[in-house]
């Protein structure tokens, strides 16, 4: 397996605050990877360490095979990055900044830049300082896409965009990059966006990686079973690998399952019951449960 991103024990502390703690994460080439977490979880700090913009206190890693500590130009030319807050030269015009960026990238593709300028309807002559926040994000994406990056890193890419532009933005990420087998790493706290486009997802909270999952697997094997028994079941009914949480809601037991779904269903079905329902847990449920530390 080739890893596009291979991070080993990354750690960063600001004063007393451990922003990222012993983070190890490997992301296969060609995946669309959603990096989920609430505000202050450590997403931006992780991304900045990946890009060599922040030096880790401990640990290290490789991006597209390049050591992150080396700040290599070759790596920068292969990675597109859209920051959470855009720091573009405000005095330049839209076309001016594209001309400015072009010489840094041997693979800069003018047709791609033009295509997205048109697509987002960005005014070429407009000064950057007069663009809205969403337009700046769109321009940053144009700049990140034009060099045909092997890896695109997006930090909360949709936060400044309205709903329609968000959809379009995500569609581009999917159509242009995923189809070509490039890797996309994007952070978000919007579960819905992540669920729609990511094939893998990691959840980070308080600097710690809580979970890394395959989204399809998550959707097929991670379920809740809601069951109303005819008689109170024996305690050991729920002691089975894959059962991660059991909550009593009125007369029903709601059992969170992460593995061995079929076996667990058989087990429950063999006990006299009135009703048994299998309920999907979407990322949001899982995320909230993990946040609370329920499971």
Task: Give the binding range for ligand ATP (CB under 6 A) out of 42-50, 68-76, 88-96, 102-110.
Answer: 42-50
Task: Give the binding range for ligand ATP (CB under 6 A) out of 41-49, 59-67, 104-112, 241-249.
Answer: 41-49
22, 29, 57, 84: residue in contact with ligand ATP (rule CB under 6 A): 84
3, 21, 23, 44: residue in contact with ligand ATP (rule CB under 6 A): 44
The tokens of 33 are what? 């990877």
In the bound state with ligand ATP, the residue whose beta carbon lies nearer, of 9 and 40, is: 40
Residue bearing tokens 């991670």: 222
The tokens of 45 are what? 């700090």
| Shortest distance in whole angstroms from residue 8 CB to ligand ATP | 19
Beta strands in the chain (DSSP E): 3-14, 17-28, 32-36, 58-63, 66-67, 79-82, 151-155, 183-188, 200-205, 208-214, 223-229, 243-249, 252-257, 273-280
In whole angstroms, what is the distance from residue 99 CA to residue 95 CA? 6
Q: Is the separation of the CB atoms in 77 and 106 below 8 Å?
A: yes
In the bound state with ligand ATP, the residue whose beta carbon lies nearer, of 19 and 227, is: 19
Rule CB under 6 A: say whether 19 interacts with ligand ATP.
Answer: yes
Rule CB under 6 A: say whether 39 interacts with ligand ATP.
Answer: yes
Rule CB under 6 A: say whether 181 interacts with ligand ATP.
Answer: no
9, 40, 65, 241: residue in contact with ligand ATP (rule CB under 6 A): 40
The tokens of 76 are what? 């920068």
| Shortest distance in whole angstroms from residue 202 CB to ligand ATP | 12
Rule CB under 6 A: say whether 37 interacts with ligand ATP.
Answer: yes
Q: Is the CA virtual torsion 88, 94, 96, 102 positive or negative?
A: positive
- Do the strands 200-205 and 208-214 form a parallel or antiparallel pair, or are they unpaired? antiparallel
Residue bearing tokens 């990055």: 81
34, 42, 52, 157: residue in contact with ligand ATP (rule CB under 6 A): 42
H-run or E-run covering 167: helix 163-172
Site size toward ligand ATP (CB under 6 A) is: 13
Task: Give the binding range for ligand ATP (CB under 6 A) out of 34-42, 121-129, 220-228, 248-256.
Answer: 34-42
In whole angstroms, what is the distance from residue 44 CA to residue 58 CA? 17
41, 75, 177, 225: residue in contact with ligand ATP (rule CB under 6 A): 41
Residues that bind ligand ATP (CB under 6 A): 14, 17, 19, 37, 39-45, 84, 189
């Amino acid at each position: 397996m080739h890893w596009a991103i291979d991070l080993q024990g990354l750690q960063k502390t600001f004063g007393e605050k451990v922003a990222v703690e012993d983070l190890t994460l490997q992301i296969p080439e060609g995946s669309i990877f959603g990096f989920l977490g609430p505000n202050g979880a450590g997403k931006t700090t992780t991304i900045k360490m990946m890009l060599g913009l922040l030096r880790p206190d401990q640990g290290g890693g490789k991006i597209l095979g390049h050591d992150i500590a080396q700040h290599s130009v070759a790596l920068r030319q292969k990675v597109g990055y859209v920051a959470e807050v855009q720091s573009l030269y405000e005095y330049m015009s839209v076309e001016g900044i594209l001309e400015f960026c072009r010489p840094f990238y041997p693979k800069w593709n003018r047709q791609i830049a033009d295509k997205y300028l048109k697509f987002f309807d960005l005014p070429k002559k407009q000064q950057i300082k007069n663009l809205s926040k969403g337009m700046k994000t769109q321009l940053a994406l144009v700049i990140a896409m034009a060099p045909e990056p092997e890896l695109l890193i997006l930090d909360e890419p949709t936060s400044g965009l309205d709903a329609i532009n968000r959809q379009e933005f995500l569609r581009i990420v999917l159509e242009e990059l995923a189809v070509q087998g490039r890797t996309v790493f994007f952070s978000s706290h919007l579960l819905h966006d992540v669920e729609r486009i990511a094939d893998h997802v990691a959840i980070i909270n308080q600097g710690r990686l809580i979970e890394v999952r395959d989204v399809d697997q998550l959707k097929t094997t991670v379920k809740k079973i809601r069951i109303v028994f005819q008689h109170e079941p024996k305690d050991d009914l729920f002691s089975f690998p894959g059962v991660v949480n059991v909550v009593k809601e009125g007369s029903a037991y709601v059992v969170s399952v992460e593995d061995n779904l079929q076996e667990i269903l058989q087990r429950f079905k063999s006990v006299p019951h009135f009703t048994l329902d299998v309920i999907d847990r979407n990322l949001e449920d899982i995320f909230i449960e993990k946040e609370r530390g329920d499971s």
